[in-house]
Amino acid sequence: MVLASTGHREKRSRGVDVAFEVVLELKLVEALLKETGHIRQITNSDRETAMRLIEENRIKEESPSRL
């Protein structure tokens, strides 16, 4: 996930929309965790929370850093 996140950050810096890729990766990770028994059933509110956190993180990354 870290490598994917880094790749998304690089694409965003070039102005590429990566929302579809992020959602696809979340679904793949969710499916893998379910198959291996490492996660409970994901609810819609869990998905909404995850997407909200991703969006907040994206906004933080894009905002100029305060020094």
Tell me if 17 is assigned to some domain: yes
Q: Which residue segment(s) compose the domain that 28 sits in?
A: 2-62
- Reported as a single tens digit per residue, the pLDDT across 23-50 is 788 888 888 888 888 777 778 888 888 8
DSSP string, 4-25: HHHHHHHHHHTT---HHHHHHH
- Reported as a single tens digit per residue, the pLDDT across 3-17 is 455 666 666 666 667
Question: CA-CA distance, 56 to 37, in Å (whole number)?
Answer: 29
- Domain tally, the chain: 1
Which among 27, 18, 52 has a CA at the least distance from the CA of 9?
Answer: 18
Rounded to two decimals, what is the model's pTM? 0.44
Please name the residue that has the structure tokens 């694409």.
11
Name the residue with higher pLDDT: 53 or 20.
Answer: 53
Chain-centroid distance of CA 14 in Å reads 18
Tell me if 67 is assigned to some domain: no
Tell me if 20 is assigned to some domain: yes
